Amino acid sequence: MIDLSIAMLVLAFTTFFAAGLVKGVTGMGLPTVAMGVLGAAISPLAAASLLIVPSLVTNVWQLFAGPHFGSLLRRLWPMMSAVFVGALLGSRWISRGDTGVTTTMLGVLLIIYSAYTLFAGQLSVPGRAETWLSPLVGAITGALTGATGVFVIPAVPYLQALGLSKDDLVQALGLSFTVSTAALAIGLGAHGAFQNDYFQLSVFAVIPSLAGMWAGRSVRDRISPVGFRRGFLVCLLLLGGEMASRPLL
């Protein structure tokens, strides 16, 4: 059975508030922060089961809080379809409980991307390349989501490279993460790996997640697009460093 001690409740509350705060500012980071912190106390599979409900709730909120859901869905549906299928197939890996190598590789890629973009300039995707790049990026993102429980690579750099506005980027990230979370939950259930003992705590974790996300969004509304972009990339760099360093901890 799950440990519902005061220490575990405090850890969950603090972790999901911090994860929600990062997500509110940058539009991403809740699963990565939660997996990174909780992975030191419980197994990666248990952490993935725990983050399903707060991840789904906060991503749906993020998705529908923006102004252009319909147009983004029409533009990104090939990518989202591929994310869903890829995550369903990739969930077999996390169901086995061994995500160390893949997570480390994701962290290294995240460091390289964020450092390059911070110091070398913004990447961009030509409009004519979107037709074939979107499903390819979606399939890879989905597979890595299923393998690690982390939704960021390569979806985040790809969406940022599309040149979306600040609010549209955050809403597009919400769309991608909602699809990823739903597919991961279905995949874990299909493989008999969803740890139902964590459902009660997962529901509880929605409260600090939403509180942190609300606080983070208030911060985001007060910063410039340039400041937002830099903060976004710095968060990616820090998240990548945390993921890459896990084997050393």
Domain spans of the chain? 6-248
pLDDT at 83: 95
Closest CA to 46 of 21, 17, 11, 14: 11
| Helix extents (H) in the chain | 6-26, 30-38, 44-65, 69-95, 100-120, 130-148, 155-161, 166-190, 199-204, 206-220, 225-245
Rounded distance, CA 249 to CA 203, Å?
29
pLDDT for 66 beyond 90? no
Three-class SS of residue 144? Answer: helix
pLDDT for 1 beyond 50? no
Q: Which of 62-71, 127-136, 213-222 has the highest mean pLDDT?
A: 127-136
Going by pLDDT thresholds of 50, 70 and 90, the confidence category of residue 229 is low
Rounded distance, CA 118 to CA 233, Å?
7
Residue 186 vs residue 231, higher pLDDT: 186
How do residues 191-226 score in pLDDT, each as one tens digit? 777 766 677 788 888 999 999 988 888 877 777 756
